[in-house]
Amino acid sequence: MSGFVTAVASALTQGSVIALIALGFLLIYRATGVVNFAQGDLVTLGAYISYWAYHDLELTLLSSWLIAVVAMFVIGIVLERFAYAPIRHRSEHTVVIATLGAALVIRATIAIWQDTSPKFAPDPFHGDVWQLAGARVPYQNLLVIATTVVVVTAILLLVGHTPFGRSVRALAADRAAASLVGVRVTRTSMLAFGLSAALAGLAGVLVAPTQALTVDLGFGPMLFAFAAAVLVGLGRIGAVLLGAVAIGFAQYVVGRYVAPDYREAYPFVLMLAVLAIRPRGLFGEQVGRRV
Amino acid sequence: MLRVEGLTVHHGPVAAVVGLDLEVRPGEAVALLGANGAGKTSTLAAISRLVAATSGTVRLDGRPLGRRGADQVARLGLLHVPEGRRVFSTLTVHENLLVAGSARGRRGGGRRAGRALLDEVYDLFPMLAALRDRPGWALSGGEAQMVAIGRALMGMPRVLLLDEPSLGLAPTVVDAVYAALARIRERVPLLLVEQDSARAFELCDRAYVLRSGRLALAGTAAGLRGTPKLVAAYLT
Amino acid sequence: MSELRRSTGRTQPAGWAGRLLRPSTTRSEPSLRPTPRARRLAAVSLATAATLLVAVGCSRDTAGDDLAPASSASPASTAAAIAPSKKFTLPAPVKLVALIGDKTNSKDPNAINDFNDGARLAVEDINAVGGIGGHPVEFAAVDTSPTGQDVDNSFNLALEQKPTALLGPVSSTTALALLARINQAGVPILQNSTDGRLATDGPSGSPWMFGTRPRNDTSAQRATEFATSVLGAKKLGLLRVDTAFGQQGETGVKAGLAGTPLVSDKSFAYNATDLTGEVSSMAQAGAQAVIDWGTPNTLALTVKTFAQQGLRDVPHIGPGSVGFSSFATGVGDPALLDNVYGAVDCNPQDDPSRPQVGAWFDRFKAKYGYTPSYGSAELYDSVLILREVIEKAGSADPAAIRDGLKSLSGFAGICSASYANKDGFLISQVVMGRYQNGVFKTQKVYAD
């Protein structure tokens, strides 16, 4: 029983982190049509900024988190201006390669700045755990899950009910028509990159205390987030939460009982299985139309 | 109002429009006619910056549009209702109208102006009020055309470009659309691309006829209507 | 806390960049920003800053280091550090090339000088007593990384210098990739990885290749013996990464069990991010000590998970990477490391049984300004082993060196008191250490 509870806690934590990253991923994809492969390294960068603010600027933990999220918002906008805006009229492949390039630059910068040996990011609960049915679930994991629920709700409201959200959805539905009705393409794309990077930074500061802080922190979760987004069809932002949790469960609940050695591959197995049955993903009626 | 000089547009190596001059004066509705592939849609797309022109100048109120992008041009008040409606399929009818408010940009005041415009659009197309919360993908062709036109109106157009508003619609629906356009032209200058020349002549003051990307004929609607054979020769 | 970071920070070049941005030290290099473009500049500035930091922090470090033997009275220059060279004549100088990048020339932002500085110190010591065969020994370092064409390029660069022998590489991937080239070139090479596949009889062995670190499986075996005999564990658990490294660890653990039951054996991917299930299953199975054959990243994760799962009092024994000072720095909270052990090659900073190691440690630290790692000691020893072998043979002929290395036995070095060839590995000593207040202290030395 305690093993099952542990596995579910791991699955929900992983699902939450994936959801935050996938959400950022989708925001940029919907607003600009670009798949941003730098998303994972933005997660890592956010975690390192907070680590630096905490250890070197000696700020309190929560202010170091806040600083990191705000800094990531700015970095997202800088990324949009320098890595995306100059080439957005080129082919999608060029832009995707550019995001990969940005990812490598971010990663190398982190490695030079803070070296690649693992770091320990503290959590506000000093590693305390919640005892539930014999399992020990760190409070930090509960914080990750709770924050994600709040943030995902906020993003859903933002996208569903604000001018920014309508702009993003209009751009996603038909970029050309959106520009014909005057949707502020540049502002929306900058905001989407900024928000997306802030979400990545939030994921980074939240997840780093649950594991070791290394330059690979965000890369693996980004691939899982990609799988989650594809799983639900790169479409509705709300559905991605479901995809993310499904991947967390495949990895930690299924992975606990069936061939645990291969569990890191389960998310992709799940993604491929779903795509084989429904090529547009679980809720993906949009994908075919846009292409 | 709107003045186009020496407009040339290429699609790859093929010239779609060559050295076109045209003008829409205040209070005027102008038709742009021609056979399939004559360059009408390319002309509108180049004016609204949906595609880049090879050369030529477009002026709105005497000021060249310069290197502005499509969204910036729209915010200046040059609004283009594209061929095929292009309603945002994942947005509701109401959201389609709201999002188009962006085009008012700095010209068009605040919330109150937006609400007034919404009322006007719903007043112009009463059937849209009942469809307020219907998503774009669930609309019929006629409904979508009304949304597309209403969307452009939300941006307080100073010139409205319309591309084939009657295409693929039942005759009764076309009537309704043209009735609305007749009301719109009282307040907004129009540049209308249309296959159905009879409808166009009814609505417009003047017309340009394109053939293979070049200006073939120009004149008042009344004058051109009087030479149906000539016009027909260019429209087939 | 701050002292720990300062003293260990010196072995981590990249870490300094972050430190320099701290308000207290920014003044020395206000313009420094660690962007990729500024890397070379940064490296130079770092060297300057490092010297400053050493000057500032040196007295405090030695004061807090209760292990440093009192040998600093005699300056290194007045007495020879090693026995004089034998008088004989070689036709040409001995040239040693290390396939190991330095901070200044490596593509790896985390390159450290530990290895090459060990070799450099040995070359200097030898040249101070007459070189080898009447000539000073020459030394050069070539950057390598295990990726694609890089391996080949660096090997070509090394061969162009007509080396008498090669040192390194430190990565087993690089060593495996170079195997064919090494056999073809016929140059003796003292490599610095622990991969048992590189044993002479192993699937990737070469008569020209000799390891100067203990085999990975041997380390795991000693860790297991230590857990049962010294720590008294009656039931053992094993966590291991699912790579060749982890598999070799498992082989070693099984060889060292001697009847003690292995109650739980879990493997995981090198990029695992949540090992709660694996760690808690160790406790459920009743393991009294856990051998953890992971990478530095997974080890950092398991150290944290052990604490969260309330298993701090279960001894947690890792491989050599646990002994890296950067590992302790990363953990930050020394309390997390209280029950963490590591199986390292040697522990020059805490070797109370051999005073000459302490003297060497002091000389190295005074000269290069940082704490030498076991890698420094091994490279130092490698160069002296080569001198021994060449002098004994009276020739620097590759085959003569190879044969000399093959029959090496009883060589007393800094890392190991007794080097001897055993199936292509010259060292089989394993030192078990444990963190105490964030410092890695020797617990038991397994001489072979």
Residue pLDDT, tens place only, C43-86: 434 443 443 333 333 333 333 333 333 333 344 444 578 899 89
**Angstroms from A117 CA to nearest CA on chain C:** 6
Inter-chain CB pairs, A–B, below 8 Å: 85
CA B213 to the chain's CA centroid: 18
Which candidate from A174, A182, A289 shows the least CB-CB separation from B100? Answer: A182
3+ Cβ–Cβ pairs closer than 8 Å linking A and C: yes
What is the pTM assigned to this prediction? 0.82
**For residue A135, which residues of chain C lie inside 8 Å, CB to CB?**
280
Q: Is C69 part of any domain?
A: no
Last residue of a domain, one of C316, C344, C372: C344
Residue pLDDT, tens place only, C398-442: 999 999 999 999 999 999 999 999 999 999 899 999 998 888 899
* Cα–Cα distance measured from residue A96 to residue A38, given in angstroms and rounded to the nearest whole number: 9
**In sequence order, what are the residues at sequence separation of 6 or more whose Cβ sits closer than 8 angstroms to the Cβ of residue C23?**
none
Q: Judge whether C188 and C218 are in contact, CB under 8 Å.
A: no
Whole-angstrom Cα Rg for chain C: 22
**In sequence order, what are the residues at sequence separation of 6 or more whose Cβ sits closer than 8 angstroms to the Cβ of residue B212?**
B37, B38, B39
Q: Is C396 part of any domain?
A: yes
Q: What is the 3-state secondary structure (H, E, C) of C150-212?
A: HHHHHHHHHHHCCCCEEECCCCHHHHHHHHHHHHHHCCCEEECCCCHHHCCCCCCCCCCEEEC
CA distance to A67, A123, B124, C431, per residue, from A61 (Å)? 10, 8, 58, 38
CATH code at position A120: 1.10.3470
**In sequence order, what are the residues at sequence separation of 6 or more whose Cβ sits closer than 8 angstroms to the Cβ of residue C169?**
C99, C100, C144, C146, C175, C178, C191, C192, C193
Other CB atoms within a 10 A radius of the CB of residue A92 amount to 11
Report CB contact under 8 Å: B102, A174: no
**For residue A166, which residues of chain B lie inside 8 Å, CB to CB?**
91, 95, 98-99
Q: What rounded mean pLDDT belongs to chain B? A: 92
The verdict on A188 touching C (C-beta cutoff 8 Å) is no
Q: How confident is the model at residue C109 (pLDDT cuts 50, 70, 90)?
A: low
Over range B127-131, report the average pLDDT: 94
* Cα–Cα distance measured from residue A126 to residue A171, given in angstroms and rounded to the nearest whole number: 44
Helix, strand or coil, per DSSP, at residue A186:
helix
Helix, strand or coil, per DSSP, at residue C43:
helix
* Cα–Cα distance measured from residue B165 to residue C386, given in angstroms and rounded to the nearest whole number: 89
Q: CA of B156: which chain A residue's CA is closest?
A: A181
Q: How confident is the model at residue C220 (pLDDT cuts 50, 70, 90)?
A: very high
* Number of domains present in the structure of chain A: 1
CATH code at position C114: 3.40.50.2300
- Chain A residues in contact with chain B using a Cβ-Cβ cutoff of 8 Å: 163, 166-167, 169-170, 172-174, 176-186, 286, 289
Per-residue pLDDT, A284 = 64
Q: Judge whether A134 and A2 are in contact, CB under 8 Å.
A: yes
Which ranges in chain A belong to alpha helices (H)? Answer: 2-32, 39-55, 61-79, 92-114, 139-161, 163-173, 175-180, 185-207, 219-231, 239-249, 255-257, 266-277, 285-290
Report CB contact under 8 Å: A181, B155: yes
Q: How confident is the model at residue A33 (pLDDT cuts 50, 70, 90)?
A: confident
**In sequence order, what are the residues at sequence separation of 6 or more whose Cβ sits closer than 8 angstroms to the Cβ of residue A195?**
A24, A27, A73, A76, A155
**For residue B82, which residues of chain A lie inside 8 Å, CB to CB?**
176-177, 180
* A103-122 residues touching C, CB cutoff 8 A: 105, 108-109, 111-120, 122
Q: Is C87 part of any domain?
A: no
Whole-angstrom Cα Rg for chain B: 17
* A197-236 residues touching C, CB cutoff 8 A: 207, 210-214, 216, 220-221
Chains with 3+ CB–CB pairs under 8 A to C are A
Look up the domain containing A154 and give its range.
Answer: 2-290
Strand partners, C416: none
Strand partners, C140: C97
Report CB contact under 8 Å: A169, B90: yes
**For residue C280, which residues of chain A lie inside 8 Å, CB to CB?**
2-3, 6, 135-136
Report CB contact under 8 Å: A177, B88: yes
Chains with 3+ CB–CB pairs under 8 A to B are A
Residue pLDDT, tens place only, A101-145: 999 999 999 988 988 788 889 999 988 999 998 899 999 999 999
Residue B57 has φ and ψ, to the nearest 5°, of: -125, 140
CA distance to B41, B51, B119, C406, per residue, from B16 (Å)? 9, 12, 39, 81
Which candidate from A56, A214, A264 shows the least CB-CB separation from C22? Answer: A56
Residue pLDDT, tens place only, C13-37: 333 333 333 333 333 333 333 344 4
CA C412 to the chain's CA centroid: 18
Q: What is the 3-state secondary structure (H, E, C) of A110-179?
A: HHHHHCCCCECCCCCCCCCEEEECCEEEEHHHHHHHHHHHHHHHHHHHHHHHCHHHHHHHHHHHCHHHHH
Say whether both C319 and C221 belong to one domain: yes
Say whether both C142 and C53 belong to one domain: no
**For residue C281, which residues of chain A lie inside 8 Å, CB to CB?**
3
Helix, strand or coil, per DSSP, at residue C227:
helix
ipTM computed for the complex = 0.92
Say whether both C99 and C207 belong to one domain: yes
The verdict on C75 touching A (C-beta cutoff 8 Å) is no
3+ Cβ–Cβ pairs closer than 8 Å linking B and C: no
Per-residue pLDDT, C73 = 37
Quick check: bond before C169 cis, omega within 30? Answer: yes
Identify the CATH assignment for B2-235 out of 3.10.20.30, 3.40.50.300, 3.90.79.10, 3.40.390.30. Answer: 3.40.50.300
**Six-digit token string for C280:** 């808690």
* A21-48 burial: b if 16+ Cβ within 10 Å, else e: bbbbbbbbbbbbebbbbbbbbbbbbbbb
* Cα–Cα distance measured from residue A67 to residue A230, given in angstroms and rounded to the nearest whole number: 32
Helix, strand or coil, per DSSP, at residue B211:
strand
**Angstroms from A131 CA to nearest CA on chain C:** 10
Q: CA of B73: which chain A residue's CA is closest?
A: A182
CA distance to A12, A223, B111, C265, C390, per residue, from A231 (Å)? 17, 12, 40, 33, 64
The verdict on C24 touching A (C-beta cutoff 8 Å) is no
Q: Is C440 part of any domain?
A: no
Q: How confident is the model at residue C113 (pLDDT cuts 50, 70, 90)?
A: confident
Which candidate from A167, A169, A177 shows the least CB-CB separation from B102? Answer: A167
Report CB contact under 8 Å: B88, A173: yes
* Cα–Cα distance measured from residue A266 to residue A249, given in angstroms and rounded to the nearest whole number: 9
Which candidate from B69, B100, B105 shows the least CB-CB separation from A185? Answer: B69
Say whether both C206 and C224 belong to one domain: no
Report CB contact under 8 Å: A177, B152: no
Look up the domain containing C168 and give its range.
Answer: 95-213+353-427
Say whether both C116 and C154 belong to one domain: yes
Per-residue pLDDT, C101 = 84
Over range C152-180, report the average pLDDT: 91
Residue B230 has φ and ψ, to the nearest 5°, of: -60, -50
* Number of domains present in the structure of chain C: 3
Over range B38-63, report the average pLDDT: 93
Report CB contact under 8 Å: B70, A181: no
Closest CA to A213 of A88, A122, A113, A101: A122
Say whether both C183 and C286 belong to one domain: no
Report CB contact under 8 Å: B74, A180: yes
The verdict on A16 touching C (C-beta cutoff 8 Å) is no
Which ranges in C65-160 belong to alpha helices (H)? Answer: 114-128, 148-160
* Cα–Cα distance measured from residue C35 to residue A48, given in angstroms and rounded to the nearest whole number: 15
